[in-house]
């Protein structure tokens, strides 16, 4: 992925995940997007990716037929999967996604949405798939899930700026792996819930402006309350004593 340069007029792709990185730590964001120094990679979420892929296949059947998914019926949601020629493009977060060129910058904001549903009124519903496995009920109330909510809000913001009418309420299709079965038999079953979330994307424009200012600065932001920055700083102090 190309690094940011103030002298390059070509649109610079800024993904939803990199916006979230800036919110968590401007220093790590600057090192990543401008200097090419990335945080250590996290563990691959292979099982989560498999659940995402299967859910998309399942909802695509109803998309092709123009019918509501049983989950929608169970929760009394009057909607069907949105059929659009760009749906696969919007879901390709690595290469395409849904995009919007932010005014007075060279930043092309991008995001790869999991799914989009549509109400009878034509209003779109942004949908995100999540997967986990825990004994308690799944929610989106934990502090570490704030990133999920920002993710939803950025997608809502992107679709609005592409001319679509978007519902403030999005939904998380949350799959929770069941571990109480007596046997495995090579099959993992899930309890799937539909969790609504009322988004507020008013923070997005200001954040992008701050990102643009950060990228065009020649100063590396100061280290904040970031576990990666704390590790680098602590390791650096220790190492300097033994050189």
**Beta bridge partners of residue 104, listed in sequence order:** none
Q: What is the pLDDT of residue 242?
A: 64
Closest by Cα among 16, 88, 80, 17 to 53? 88
Give the C-alpha separation, 69 to 19, whole Å. 32
10-residue block means of pLDDT along the chain (243 residues)?
Answer: 89 96 96 94 80 95 97 97 97 93 96 97 97 90 93 98 98 92 84 96 98 96 88 76 66
Instruction: Give the span between the Cα atoms of 240 and 28, in whole angstroms.
Output: 22
**In terms of C-beta distances under 8 Å and separation of at least 24 residues, what long-range contacts does 36-42 make, across chains too?**
36/3, 39/228, 40/228
In this prediction, residue 182 carries a pLDDT of 80
Which pLDDT belongs to residue 155? 98
Domains and CATH numbers, the chain: 12-234 (3.90.320)
Radius of gyration for the chain, computed over Cα atoms and rounded to the nearest angstrom: 20
């Amino acid at each position: 992925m190309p690094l940011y340069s103030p002298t390059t007029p070509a649109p610079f792709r800024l993904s939803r995940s990199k916006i979230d990185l800036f919110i968590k730590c401007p220093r790590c964001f600057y090192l990543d997007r401008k200097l090419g120094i990335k945080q250590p990679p996290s563990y691959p979420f292979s099982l989560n990716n498999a659940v995402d892929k299967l859910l998309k296949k399942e909802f695509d059947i109803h998309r092709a037929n123009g019918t509501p998914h049983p989950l929608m019926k169970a929760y009394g949601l009057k909607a069907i999967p949105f059929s659009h020629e760009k749906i696969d493009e919007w879901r390709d977060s690595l290469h395409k996604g849904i995009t919007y060129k932010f005014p007075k910058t060279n930043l092309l904001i991008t995001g790869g949405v999991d799914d989009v549903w549509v109400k009878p009124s034509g209003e779109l519903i942004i949908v995100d798939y999540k997967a986990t496995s825990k004994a308690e009920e799944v929610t989106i109330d934990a502090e570490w899930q704030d990133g999920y909510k920002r993710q939803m809000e950025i997608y809502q913001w992107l679709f609005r700026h592409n001319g679509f009418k978007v519902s403030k309420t999005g939904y998380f299709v949350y799959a929770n792996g069941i571990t109480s079965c007596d046997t495995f038999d090579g099959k993992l079953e899930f309890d799937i819930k539909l969790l609504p979330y009322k988004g507020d994307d008013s923070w997005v424009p200001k954040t992008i402006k701050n990102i643009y200012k950060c990228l065009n600065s020649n100063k590396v932001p100061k280290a904040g309350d970031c576990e990666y920055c704390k590790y680098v700083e602590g390791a650096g102090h220790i190492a300097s004593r033994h050189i």
